[in-house]
Structure 1
Amino acid sequence: MHYNNDKFIQKVCEQIGFKAARKGIEQELKAHIDDNIEQFIAQGLDEKTAIIKATECMGDPIEIGEALNRIHRPQTEWGVISLVILLSIFGIGTMFFIGDLPAGSSSIFGKKQIVYAILGMGFLVGIYLFDYMKLCKYGRKIFLSGIILTITTVLFGTNENGILCLKMGEITFTTAFICNLMFMIYVIAELSKCRGEGIIAFLKICSLCAISLILLFFNMAFALSLIMLIVYAIILTVAAIKGHFNYEKRWSYICATWGISVISLIALIPHMMLINYNPHNSEYSTNMVSKYLEGSQWIGKSAFLNAHGWRYLPKHWADYFLTIIITNFGWIIGCLIISFLIVLFSIMIFRTLNLKNTYGFYLSVGIVVYLIINFVLNILITMGYVNNLDCNLSFISFGGTDYLNNIFVVGLFLSVWRRNLIMPSDMYSSLTHYN
């Protein structure tokens, strides 16, 4: 028999394979045993006898440990991992078949993308194994690091095709993507801490969102600023629906969120157009994309491509990678890629709705919305409806920083899902039910 509660708990935890789950189980078992001890003492038993009986009441530690081990297992979403790998492989493979692009031979870009993909897969595994709750703990330091990186880029960065970058030898980083993740991590960390605090908390989160967007704008990440404005608006809307600030006033917070967002959008778009709009380039890009797509077939190369090659493709060709796929392989392949991405996002949405930790839930909402808005904007660019904004097709388009950024957010999502069964359950309502 285990008459020492510490030894009992130790024996239980030895049966649990997922070490990250042990701390929470230790706390839960200790609390349960302490409650039993108090009850036995209240019945008139001395402390030593109460400890013995409280421990005996728990049962066999090995059986309990084995049962808990079956419950507290790490979760892996293989559907997300498989689709990300499949899309990455297709993106790389495409580059070896499309010939000479305006910026050079596509095979050169394909070889570079192989390097990014190998780095990305290692990155994915590392982030998956990483405890995402540490980001919440160090959120403020991460946010300040993002501000410093933004200022460094603005002061010392180089402008490449309208995008500010930092160079380290032959390597070029688009730091806006890195800074954006730092900002979002901190905003969501603060959001998860201020449940039930009302208007003060709401204004605080809105202020942090505004600072993050302004810093992105200074970094000349105009498309990213627009995307993140929508992402933050949706995160705040979900929080308001769940009564995160104040359930009785949730509609007031929703109206305030979208009122501020619409006003910001009205102010943002004309300024973006003033800085970034080139009528000649815009008209050229629209006309050329239309010609490539108009001649596309269900299977095989476009007639326009057979006649002219890629010489008329816009210089920022990476944004039109879906156009390239459709033009070179046909509409069926293009629709298949779109379908894979839709399935990927659907799986991520479904998993997000089943998360029980507040920080993990809002982090996943931000990640999923971010990827979906990127996808929608890229479709609009591909079809020629939007110009003068840069937005790559996730996991498919060429680009090291953008690819690794997408790998990071998916890895973060997988890290959240992996620990869903061991995180403390503090999600007090669903999107459709309130206590």
Structure 2
Amino acid sequence: MSIEQNCKVQGYLKNVCSHIKWTETHQQVKQELLTHIEDCISEYVAEGLPEQEAIQKAIDRMGDSETLGKQLHQTHRPPTDWKLLFIVAILTGIGLIALYSIEMQGLLTGRVSVPVFSRSLSYTLLGLVALLGMTYFDYRKLKVYGWHLFAGTMFVWLMILVLSNTVINGKPYLNLGFIVINYVDAVTPAFLAVALASIFINKEWSKNSWFLSPVLLLVVPDIFYIMSSSWATAGIYTVMFLAIMLLSGVDKKQLICIASIPISLFVFSILTAPYRLSRLLSFINPYTDPTGSGYLYIQSIEAIKSAGLWGQGFSMVVNLPEIHTDFIFPYIVHAFGWVAGAVVVVLALALVGIMMSVAIKIKDRYGRLMVGGLTCIFAMHFIWNILMTLGYAPLSDINLPFFSYGGSQTFINMAIIGLVLSVYRRKGLLSKAHLN
């Protein structure tokens, strides 16, 4: 009979774990205690003691099961990343204040007929429920469903492209009757990040056929994004995809090989449609066409330039469409000043930095890949939105996380934070593969 199956050892381990409330740590605690007990038994047997006497002496040496269990309960309490929650709370608060002032000043008159602030508040509260739910959900349960999640995401997407008659700003939306969801831009990047983390976790990059699945996983979604008129989201997905590949241990030459595929597709699409190049490069010198392709750049830049250190108040003379979504950053800067803009940038960098630090601290490979991919999504949204409003990136409908109006995006952003917190809670736990 092995030491692990000994009734005295089993009883001791069970008694210790009965005082540890977080059951997910029980298996790891048992493994750690069993290793110590086995070492003690080997030591006593080497001294000439009979095995049963050595077992009892080893257990006595470990200490009282109740006392040890209470000590381990304190040691293994699930941690919460309060810094991450604090920053999300501040960003969300600033966003709600901005949306409230936009609505109260009548800046949406003639553009949006819905109550922006009250709906945003409702979306935020619903998002908080998602955040809490995902925080207490064991993310490791998703590990075996990578291909299922990828296939399911693509199937729903295909049905939207084929059957959906709900098109907003030229993009197909998922219409469930009682709710309309921005499935393409808000949902798919997060779902695909979780799926890719699972698929690439045990990917053998040394095989001759290593490139088959990455090409499929990259090209098919990118084609779907293009078909959905979501070029910017295609770029975000591509960067996220390459980041997860890199974290999974791919060779740099292999990474470059895969990266060349979307780059080639992008160049080809530009060469076959010159008007796209004109739109893409209009941010380099928007004043060459101030009433056409450069108009929005100029309006956004002027709103930021005229803000001053402490802002010009809640009203806004500059005419900017979609001020509650794509161009909410220029409004915040114009209303509250360059100081407020700097605070937003610092908070965004801090949020991304904290998420990156979570990925680094994770022992579980799957959790590390998943948080790395989700961090890329946030980073790209922040960087692209802020740079385009400053005139340093092409215009797109990429919103500013936790600021811009949008129910689907708010819900998904909160759920992503909850998923990151779920990973952080289990940062000290080894994967089940290591425990078996």
Which residue does the alignment assign to 1:69? 73
* 8 Å contact from structure 1 (residues 149, 175) kept in 2: no
Matched, 1:422 2:429: yes
Q: Helix, strand or coil for the counterpart of 2:399?
A: coil
How far 1:217 moved relative to its partner? 3.0
Distance in 1 between residues matched to 2:46 and 2:207, nearest whole Å: 41
Instruction: Name the count of aligned residue pairs.
Output: 414
Q: How far off its partner does 1:323 sit?
A: 0.9
Cα distance in 2, alignment partners of residues 193 and 409 from structure 1: 23
What residue number does 2:356 align with? 349
2:148 aligned partner, one-letter code:
K
**Who is 1:266 aligned against?**
267
Deviation at 1:186, TM superposition (A): 1.4
Tell me the equivalent position of 1:12: 16
Q: Do the aligned partners of 2:137 and 2:422 also contact (CA within 8 Å) in 1?
A: yes
Distance 1:322 1:219 in 2: 26
Q: Partner of 1:179 in structure 2?
A: 188
- Deviation larger for 31-40 or 372-381: 31-40
Q: Is the 8 A contact 1:231 1:366 kept in 2?
A: yes
What is the Cα deviation at residue 34 of structure 1?
6.4
In 2, Cα distance between equivalents of 1:277 and 1:64: 69
**Which residue of structure 2 lines up, in the alignment, with residue 94 of structure 1?**
98
- Tell me, what secondary structure is at the counterpart of 1:96? helix
Q: Distance in 2 between matches of 1:354 and 1:361?
A: 8
Q: CA deviation at 1:329?
A: 2.3
- Equivalent position of 2:288 in the other structure: none
How far has the Cα of 1:316 moved from its partner?
6.9
CA distance in structure 2 between the aligned counterparts of 1:273 and 1:173, rounded to whole angstroms: 32
Distance 1:388 1:167 in 2: 27
1:16 Cα offset (Å): 1.4
Contiguous gaps of at least 5 residues in structure 1: 428-435
Which position in structure 2 is the counterpart of 1:432?
none
Range moving further from structure 2, 373-382 or 191-200: 191-200
Contact 1:187 1:209 in 2 (8 A): no
Matched position secondary structure for 1:91 = helix
Matches within 5 A, 1:4-403: 4-30=8-34, 52=56, 55-56=59-60, 58-98=62-102, 99-102=105-108, 104=111, 108-157=115-164, 158-169=166-177, 171-176=179-184, 177-194=186-203, 197-201=206-210, 203-239=212-248, 244-245=249-250, 250-260=251-261, 262-267=263-268, 282-301=293-312, 309=317, 312-315=319-322, 318-403=325-410
**Cα offset, 1:411, TM superposition:** 1.3
The two structures, once aligned, show a CA RMSD in angstroms of: 3.4
Contact 1:109/1:398 (CA < 8 Å) preserved in 2? yes
Matched with 2:285 is none
Contact 1:318 1:398 in 2 (8 A): yes
Report if aligned partners of 2:193, 2:374 keep a CA contact under 8 Å in 1: no
Percent of aligned positions that are identical? 25
CA contact (8 A) 1:150 1:219 kept: no
Report Cα offsets for 1:377-409 as digits up to 9, x if no partner. Answer: 101221234445210111011111111221122
Q: Distance in 2 between matches of 1:286 and 1:196?
A: 44
SS at match of 1:319: coil
Q: Residues 74 and 421 of structure 1 are in contact (CA less than 8 Å); yes or no, is this contact kept in structure 2?
A: no
TM-score (norm: length of structure 2) = 0.83
Q: Provide, for residues 244-292 of structure 1, a one-character-per-residue CA deviation record: whole Å limited to 9, x for no partner.
A: 35xxxx3433443444454344346667986798787633322322333
Q: Rate the CA distance shift 1:39–1:270 in 2: closer, same or farther, 3 A.
A: farther
Report the residue type matching 1:229 in the other structure: T
Query: How far did residue 63 of structure 1 move?
Result: 3.9
Q: In structure 2, what is the Cα distance between the partners aligned to 1:419 and 1:235? A: 20
In 1, the alpha carbon distance for the partners of 2:409 and 2:272 equals 24
Distance 1:281 1:235, change over 3 A: farther
1:126-182 C-alpha deviation (Å, 9 max, x unpaired): 111110111112223222220221012112222111221122335320111222222
Shift of 1:315: 4.5
Rounded Cα–Cα distance in structure 2 between residues aligned with 1:272 and 1:51: 78
Q: Residues 36 and 139 of structure 1: is their aligned pair in 2 closer, same or farther, counting only changes over 3 Å? A: farther
Paired with 2:143 and 2:400, the residues of 1 have a C-alpha distance of: 29
Say which SS state the counterpart of residue 326 (structure 2) adopts: helix
Give the alignment's TM-score, normalised by structure 1: 0.83
CA distance in 2, matches of 1:156, 1:97: 38
For 2:75 and 2:20, locate their aligned partners in 1 and report how far apart those are by CA, in whole Å: 10
Alpha-carbon deviation of 1:202?
5.4
Name the stretch that deviates more: 264-273 or 356-365.
264-273
Partner-residue secondary structure (3-state), 2:403: coil
Look up the SS of the partner of 2:253 in the other structure. helix
Structure 2: stretches of 5+ with no match in the other structure: 1-5, 283-290
Take 2:273 and 2:30, find their aligned partners in 1: how far apart are those partners?
A: 54
* Cα deviation, residue 3, structure 1: 6.0
- Taking the aligned partners of 1:117 and 1:277, their CA distance within structure 2 comes to 38
CA distance in 2, matches of 1:268, 1:20: 50
Q: Which moved further from structure 2: 325-334 or 145-154? A: 325-334
**Cα distance, 1:57 vs. partner?**
5.3
| Structure 1 residue 89, shift from structure 2 partner | 1.3
Deviations 1:86-132 (A, max 9, x none): 11111111122232234557992111100011111111111111101
